[in-house]
Structure 1
Amino acid sequence: MPVVEIAGSGLALPGKVRTTEEFESILHAPSEPADHKVSFASEELLTDPLQFAISPRQARYIDPQQLLLLDVARAAFDDAGLTAGALKGSRTGVYVGMTESDHLLGVDLAEVPAANLSSVGVGNNRGMAAGRISYAFDLRGPSMQVDSTCSSGLLALHLAAAAVRDGEIDRALVVASHLVRSDQGRLLRQATGAIDPGARCNAFTDRAAGFVVGEGVVAFVLEAGTLRRTGPARPRVATAVNQDGRTAGVTVPNRSAQEDVITRALGRAGLDPATVSYVEAHGTGTKLGDPIEVSALAAAYRTRERDAGRPLLIGSNKPRFGHLEAASGLLSLLVATTVQRTGVIPGTRSAGAPSPTVDWAGENVRLVLADTPLPGHRAGALGVSAFGMSGTNVHAIIAPVQEQ
Structure 2
Amino acid sequence: MNFYGVLGNVLSMMANRVSFFFGFNGPSYVVDTACSASSVALQQALLNIRTGQCDAAIVGAAHLHHDPAATYMFHQLEMTNREGRCKVFDTSADGYVRSEAIVAIYICKKDMAKRSYATLVHAVTNNDGYKEQGITFPSVVLQERVIRRVYEDSGIDPLKVDYIEAHGTGTKVGDPEEMTAVTNVFCNGRKGPLLVGSVKSNMGHTETASGETERFLFLYFIS
- TM tier, shorter chain? over 0.9
Give the aligned partner of residue 177 of structure 2: 292
Question: Is 1:340 aligned to 2:222, yes or no?
Answer: yes
Return the index of the structure with the highest Cα Rg. 1
Task: State the alpha-carbon separation in 2 of the partners of residues 267 and 236 from structure 1.
Answer: 15
Question: Is 1:157 aligned to 2:42, yes or no?
Answer: yes
Deviations 1:218-247 (A, max 9, x none): 111111123234x55542331110011111
Deviations 1:137-164 (A, max 9, x none): 0000011000000000000000110111
Give the aligned partner of residue 12 of structure 1: none
1:243 pairs with 115, 124, 127, which one? Answer: 127
2:22 pairs with 121, 131, 137, which one? Answer: 137
Deviations 1:56-82 (A, max 9, x none): xxxxxxxxxxxxxxxxxxxxxxxxxxx
How many residue pairs get matched?
Answer: 222
* Alpha carbons of structure 1 residues 178 and 227: separation in structure 2 relative to 1, 3 Å: same
- Helix, strand or coil at the partner of 1:220: strand
Task: State the alpha-carbon separation in 2 of the partners of residues 234 and 295 from structure 1.
Answer: 27
Task: State the alpha-carbon separation in 1 of the partners of residues 103 and 42 from structure 2.
Answer: 12
Give the aligned partner of residue 62 of structure 2: 177
Q: Is the 8 A contact 1:146 1:153 kept in 2?
A: yes
After TM superposition, the structure 1 = structure 2 runs for residues 195-344 of structure 1, keeping only pairs within 5 Å, are 195-229=80-114, 231=115, 234-247=118-131, 248-301=133-186, 303-307=187-191, 310-341=192-223
Task: State the alpha-carbon separation in 2 of the partners of residues 242 and 233 from structure 1.
Answer: 27
Residue 204 of structure 2 aligns with an amino acid whose one-letter code is G
Task: State the alpha-carbon separation in 1 of the partners of residues 116 and 217 from structure 2.
Answer: 19
Give the aligned partner of residue 65 of structure 1: none
* Alpha carbons of structure 1 residues 238 and 281: separation in structure 2 relative to 1, 3 Å: same
After TM superposition, the structure 1 = structure 2 runs for residues 19-38 of structure 1, keeping only pairs within 5 Å, are none
User: How many Å apart are 1:312 and its aligned residue?
Assistant: 1.4
Task: State the alpha-carbon separation in 1 of the partners of residues 127 and 111 from structure 2.
Answer: 32
**Higher strand residue share:** 1
Residue 126 of structure 2 aligns with an amino acid whose one-letter code is N
Task: State the alpha-carbon separation in 2 of the partners of residues 237 and 145 from structure 1.
Answer: 23
Q: Is the 8 A contact 2:88 2:169 kept in 1?
A: yes
Runs of 4+ in 1 over 6 A off after TM superposition: none
Task: State the alpha-carbon separation in 2 of the partners of residues 268 and 137 from structure 1.
Answer: 35
Q: Is the 8 A contact 2:124 2:146 kept in 1?
A: yes
Deviations 1:350-402 (A, max 9, x none): xxxxxxxxxxxxxxxxxxxxxxxxxxxxxxxxxxxxxxxxxxxxxxxxxxxxx
Q: Is the 8 A contact 2:117 2:220 kept in 1?
A: no
Stretches of structure 1 lacking an aligned partner (at least 5 in a row): 1-108, 110-116, 342-404
Residue 155 of structure 1 aligns with an amino acid whose one-letter code is V
Q: Is the 8 A contact 1:174 1:220 kept in 2?
A: yes
- Helix, strand or coil at the partner of 2:99: coil
- Helix, strand or coil at the partner of 1:242: coil
After TM superposition, the structure 1 = structure 2 runs for residues 92-111 of structure 1, keeping only pairs within 5 Å, are none
Stretches of structure 2 lacking an aligned partner (at least 5 in a row): none
Give the aligned partner of residue 147 of structure 1: 32
Residue 237 of structure 1 aligns with an amino acid whose one-letter code is V
Deviations 1:318-344 (A, max 9, x none): 121111011000111122223323xxx
Identity, % of aligned positions: 35
Deviations 1:175-202 (A, max 9, x none): 1111111211211221221000111110
Task: State the alpha-carbon separation in 2 of the partners of residues 328 and 297 from structure 1.
Answer: 19
> Relative CO higher for 1 or 2, CA cutoff 8 Å, sep ≥ 6?
2
User: How many Å apart are 1:289 and its aligned residue?
Assistant: 1.1
Deviates more, 1:135-144 or 1:119-128: 119-128
**TM-score (ref. length: structure 1):** 0.53
Task: State the alpha-carbon separation in 2 of the partners of residues 321 and 168 from structure 1.
Answer: 35
